[in-house]
Amino acid sequence: MFGIQGRLTLLFVVIVTLVLGISGTYAQYSLGHELEVANQRLREGVLTRLQTSLPSALWDLDKAKVDNIVAAEMLPPELVSIRVYDTSVGLFSGKLRNENGSVSAIENDLNVGGTPVVADLAYRDSGAAGASLKPVIVGRVVVNFSRAQIDATLAAEVRRKVTEVLLLDLILVAALALSLRIVFDPLKRLRDGLFDLATRGSDEVEELPENRQDELGEVIRGFNAIQRKIKSNIQRIREAEDEARKSAQTTTKALDDLRRTQESLLQAERLASLGGLVAGVAHEINTPVGIALTSASVLLEATEKVHHAVDGGNVKKSDIMRYLETASESTRLIMNNAYRAAHLIHSFKQIAVDQVSEARRRFELRDYINEVVSSLQPKLKKTRIAVSISCPPDVMLDSYPGALAQVITNLTLNCLEHAFNPEDEGQIRISVVQQADWIEMQVADDGKGIAPEMLDKVFDPFVTTRRGQGGTGLGLNIVFNLIVKQFCGTISVASKLGEGACFTLRIPCVTPTEEQHHALPTEQQQHD
């Protein structure tokens, strides 16, 4: 690609060539027009002279005079031939220009080159009294004109103009090459200095000499001033980088300490949640176990009475019937409460194991949500809040049930603690919709709602509206981290004051492995 110097040279050459070309074209057109006019005048002059001088000589049949007149008119090189025809004889006289330029007589009528022009020769005889008679046609003359002279003149002019243009272009190129070097040589040194300044260390680049006293000298001095300024800035930047590096190391250490502290707090929160679950389930199991124990005691006492009556031999039918009624009622109570305790223990065992371990397994979602909600009954039964579950059957997940239990527990307890006052009635709705390989779960309530200024902060750690009342501000942050990092999903919240809140979770049915997580689309990693 041409540089500026090459483009300037090409531009000037093109402009000069165009100007000279236009000027030469106009001059060529003018010259051609002048030659055509001169040729036309020559034709008219030759014919006029021949029509004037030849009729009388032809009338007298004076061949010598006719030859002399014709030879005199053959002097201009544009004439190829002149042939004079008599009305009775035929070819009377003629001259032909040979290829070497000489003129010779025409002996017979032959084909002659050039453009022929024919004119009649009229003889006007004067009477004795001097009265003019009617002209008589005594013959005709055929003059052949050639354009070779015009074409040769125009071609020579074209060659002259082309030579002139080429010489001027060469002179212009040489002049521009010499003159532009005065400007571009210093600019090249400036370019090399800038390149060195950009690619090498500033301390290695020398300043350019400032011995020029023209405009380019001012530019060079400005460049050197900029170079000194850059060196000063680089030095300050290096000092700032050193300070920033030290600060970054301190910040990294503080961040690592903060992360360890946060992980400890998160683990403590999870263990506290599990501890609350243990206490609640233990309290809940105490009732059916107590009823079963009481029923077993009643049954044992009735059995001992019947046994003593049998030993004494005074057993009555009424005693047997009373014992059977007592035994039937006691066994029914024992079975019902034992089943209830077993169900609570099973649910608690699965949820507790899942929350403590990070094991991954396949599980049916609707039954698992029911087990999680059942484990929360000790807290729910103390309120006037109802929990409804809407989930299609046979929705299978290959994921981490313990983490999912933690998510559902934290969201449900968050609704209990923040959406309702202790005496309020309300409803918490857990709904699930399967969308291809994803599920969308919504946990919604009809409680107080979330203030607009808190919506963007609900998932931040240590953000709570119940500080000093047992709230740590980590519940929703744990949910956020589990959904985004462990399940590779997304979570969002929508709420209006007085109209409740709705948490929307989207997680894959098959949780990706850590390697697959990095290849997921941006939609699933936008909160990472």
Q: Quote the DSSP letter at residue 453.
A: H
Query: Is 361-528 in the same CATH topology as 4-166?
Result: no
Q: Give the Å distances, CA to CA, from 525 to 72, 436, 520.
A: 108, 19, 7
Q: How far apart are the first and last CA of the chain?
A: 48
8 Å CB contact between 58 and 164: no
pLDDT at 518: 56
Q: Identity (one letter) of the amino acid at 376?
A: L
**Tokens linked to 521:** 């689309």
- Domain boundaries along the sequence of the chain: 4-166, 211-356, 361-528
- 363-402 confidence digits (pLDDT tens): 999 999 998 888 888 778 888 899 999 999 989 999 988 8
pLDDT at 526: 43
Measured distance CA(459)–CA(473) in Å, rounded: 9
Q: What is the dihedral of CA 252, 256, 257, 258, to 10 degrees?
A: 100
Residues of the chain with pLDDT under 50: 1, 128-131, 354, 356, 468, 470, 522-528
In terms of CATH, what superfamily is 361-528? Histidine kinase-like ATPase, C-terminal domain (3.30.565.10)
Q: What is the largest CA-CA distance in the chain?
A: 207
Q: How far is CA 152 from the centre of its chain?
A: 64
- Laid out side by side, the sheet with 90-97 consists of 103-105, 90-97, 79-86, 136-145, 115-123
pLDDT at 524: 47
Domain 4-166: assigned CATH number: 3.30.450
**Tokens linked to 281:** 């389930």
How many other C-beta atoms are found inside a 10 Å radius of the C-beta of residue 86?
Answer: 18
3-class DSSP assignment, residue 502: strand
pLDDT at 523: 44
- 435-477 confidence digits (pLDDT tens): 989 999 999 999 999 988 888 888 887 667 655 454 556 678 8
